[in-house]
Amino acid sequence: MSQNPYRQLNWSPLRAIREYCLWCCADQRKEVSSCAAEGCPLHPFRFGRIRGGDPACLKAIRRKCLDCVTGSHSEIVKCESRDCVLWHFRLGTYPPCAT
């Protein structure tokens, strides 16, 4: 992923997921709505709302990051894709600088 304009430190995990889904669907809200990628860990959260709150969102982001780095936990820690909106939440926690 490169040059993602949505990178924000103060977003919630749910907002980051919504923005990631928009990025994935070329900023087409209609495409996000009709997304057929049900195997994607972020799929249930794509509308920016879900029951379960942040812990469920953080787990989904962690699973998405594992998919991205082909299942290697150590690669998530070493990830250099700082332009990804999910990057700050990749470890399954809030970043220290987020509010």
Q: Give a yes or no: residue 3 inside a domain.
A: no
What are the two backbone dihedrals, phi and then psi, of residue 67, each rounded to the nearest 5 degrees? -60, -40
- Tokens found for residue 25: 């669907």
* Secondary structure letter of residue 93 according to DSSP: S
Domain count, the chain: 1
Give pLDDT, residue 86. 93
Contact 13, 54 (CB under 8 A): yes
> Rounded mean pLDDT of 11-37?
92
Q: Give a yes or no: residue 7 inside a domain.
A: no
Q: Give a yes or no: residue 2 inside a domain.
A: no
Considering only CA atoms, which of 23, 7, 15, 21 is closest in space to residue 58? 15
> Rounded mean pLDDT of 45-63?
84
For residue 8, what pLDDT band results from cuts at 50, 70 and 90? Answer: low
Percentage of residues in the chain having pLDDT higher than 70:
84
For residue 2, what pLDDT band results from cuts at 50, 70 and 90? Answer: very low
Owning domain of residue 21? 13-89
Instruction: Compare 12 and 52 and report the one with higher pLDDT.
Output: 12
Locate tokens 């087409």: which residue? 28
